[in-house]
Structure 1
Amino acid sequence: MTGYLLRRLPSALGVLLLASFAIFFILRAVPGDPVATLAGSDPSPETVAAIRADLGLDRPVLAQYGTWLADVLRGDLGRSYVIGGEVSELLSQRIGKSVELTIGALVFSLAIGLVLGVLGVTVKNRAGQAVLSAINAISLIVPAYVSGFLLVFLFAITWPVLPPGGHVSVLSDPQIGFQYLLMPALVMALPPAAIVARYVKDGLLQALGEDYTRTAKSLGIPHRRILWRHALPNALPPVLTVLGMLVGTLLGSAVIIEAVFAWPGLGTLAEQAVTRRDYPVIQAVLLFMVAVFVIVQLLTDLAYALIDPRVRLR
């Protein structure tokens, strides 16, 4: 297992390096200048030049990237252009909230996907299959901001049973915190849940067609026991891989969901930084999201290799 990890590390580090390069240069290619935001409505050329020099934006872009990358490797993410504080402190204030939302969405997506996948195998009539197909299609097609506004309209305005937005930590107050978490996590979980359901259904159909399940049926073992104790465990390894990839999807959708539900996480911070062209904040948030995705993928590969030794051999 250690050898497998050492073989996977160079590619993970390479992805992070390429991501840092792409993030830095794409931001510079996007129209807009942070100096214009900081200099005011009618600045003099001297003021603009002084601000640009103070921020280091008067240097060649490659030199700026080299300095930024060296600082990141030392753990220094820079200072916010607009807020003025250390970017690492801004992230530390928001990371826990985004992690809480992402974990909640991941749990919901796994639970909903497992239920829909099992129902896709056990429900035999056409009407039931049509309903399940419609649920999966709607979950994938409807944009997150549409379903988010719809839930807010239904459960915070029409029937005010849940708060429309904001955040209370589940750890500090589980009951109230879950009420704040429910709608945004559910909206984030719907598209991944449909994907999980598809993999669970395909895995169960394949497992139920194997010799060991047919033998169990011939021995008179109840179908429900075969499904839950034999077929489902063998259908889960591909789902584990999919969940690792879906972390990136959840982190990406967090930007929209946090804005809809006023969730004070990294997505809200990134949205505010983009509108103000706050390069250090945007770079740090995007690089953190890529790092989380790479780490989760690496852990998923290790878990898959632990389950299936053939992966280690390849």
Structure 2
Amino acid sequence: MRRIPAALLTALGASIVIFVLMQLAPGSPASVLAGPDATPETVAAIERSLGLDKAAPVQYFDWLRGLVTGQLGDSLIYRQSIAELIGQRLESTIELAALAAILMCVIGIALGVLGGSSRSARVRATLDSAFSILLALPTYVTAVLLLLLFGVVWPDILPVSGETLLSESPGGALQSLILPAITLAIPHSAVIGRLLQTSMREAMHEDYVRAANAKGLTHRRVLWVHVLRNSMSTAVVVIGIRFGGLLGGAVLVEALFARNGVGQLLVQSVLSRDYFVVQDLILFAVVAAIVMQLISEMALAALDPRVRLK
């Protein structure tokens, strides 16, 4: 509960930064809506109708009031409510982010545990090399490789573009999600795996592990009950932080795999200078990342009694 005020202040600070950046962006919503041949009088009239002739602080508080009350306004380009526009695209992005988060956790934790528990120098060296390659591989390169592999070499295994929602067909949705979710999850799983592996290796030399071994506990019990639980605190925090990266990466991944989600909407809104939609979407991503960070801290407190004592 003590974290919530700080989270609210962070979201408020982010909203101020986003609003200022939108104010500094070239062009104005009124000029975009009026068109290139509009007279200054026409642009001024549109600005008055949109409330853009007011002072910047007044515009900010009007926007903030709309966010709190759920009145997000209307899109300049799509000519419909921004809330409805985001709602139509949200299901696609949530499904992509959810599957990517699951893969990120499963792959990252599995590789981290394998590297942290293995006594083989060859396995550890192989995993270290794999982590370095995955961390250095940009998301768009992974996407292009998967597009070439499943679009040219194995064209009949998985679809490389388009989407099917879970509400339409669970099987079709899973097929259309696999490639973009893997693309999105790979770099984040490498971060989780490397940190968990390092944390487990360090924990192996702690006094409580030596004491557990001295008591005659099996290596498996020491590993799963003592080492992994104490090392998971690092992974939990990183998972919460990396979730924000999933939302940011969804912008690129949705564009490459032709998914009609919130990320694709953000790209289209930036290109068409639909600034009202842009600032709402960016703030939405920031708030989602803050909420996931709060959840990860709660999970950390549940795993580590030392955090609760603090």
In the superposition, the TM-score normalised over structure 2's length comes to: 0.91
Query: Distance in 1 between the 2:31 and 2:217 partners?
Result: 73
Amino acid at match of 2:133: I
Query: Distance in 2 between the 1:144 and 1:306 partners?
Result: 33
**CA offset at residue 24 of structure 1?**
0.8
Query: Distance in 2 between the 1:133 and 1:202 partners?
Result: 10
**CA offset at residue 36 of structure 1?**
3.2
Amino acid at match of 2:101: L
Aligned to 1:158: 153
Deviations 1:217-275 (A, max 9, x none): 45665534543344223321221111111111111111111111112111111111111
Aligned to 2:235: 239
8 Å contact from structure 1 (residues 188, 257) kept in 2: yes
**Of 174, 179, 182, which residue of structure 2 is paired with 1:183?**
179
Aligned to 1:48: 43
State the percentage of identical aligned residues.
Answer: 40
Aligned to 1:304: 300
Aligned length: 309
8 Å contact from structure 1 (residues 34, 276) kept in 2: no
Unpaired runs of 5+ residues, structure 1, are none
Aligned to 2:288: 292
Query: Distance in 2 between the 1:70 and 1:121 partners?
Result: 50
Q: Any idea what SS the aligned residue of 2:163 has?
A: coil
Cα 1:146–1:179 shift into 2, 3 Å: same
Amino acid at match of 1:117: G
Query: Distance in 2 between the 1:246 and 1:103 partners?
Result: 13
Aligned to 1:74: 69
**CA offset at residue 76 of structure 1?**
0.9
In the superposition, the TM-score normalised over structure 1's length comes to: 0.90
Aligned to 2:102: 107
Q: Please, which moves more after superposition, 129-138 or 281-290?
A: 129-138
Aligned to 2:170: 174
Cα 1:54–1:193 shift into 2, 3 Å: same
Aligned to 2:205: 209
Runs of 4+ with >6 A deviation: none
Deviations 1:99-119 (A, max 9, x none): 111111111111111222123
Unpaired runs of 5+ residues, structure 2, are none
Cα 1:236–1:68 shift into 2, 3 Å: same
Query: Distance in 1 between the 2:19 and 2:80 partners?
Result: 20
Q: Any idea what SS the aligned residue of 1:168 has?
A: coil
Aligned to 1:22: 17
Aligned to 1:62: 57
Deviations 1:95-147 (A, max 9, x none): 22211111111111111112221232344555543432222122212211111
Query: Distance in 1 between the 2:255 and 2:204 partners?
Result: 43
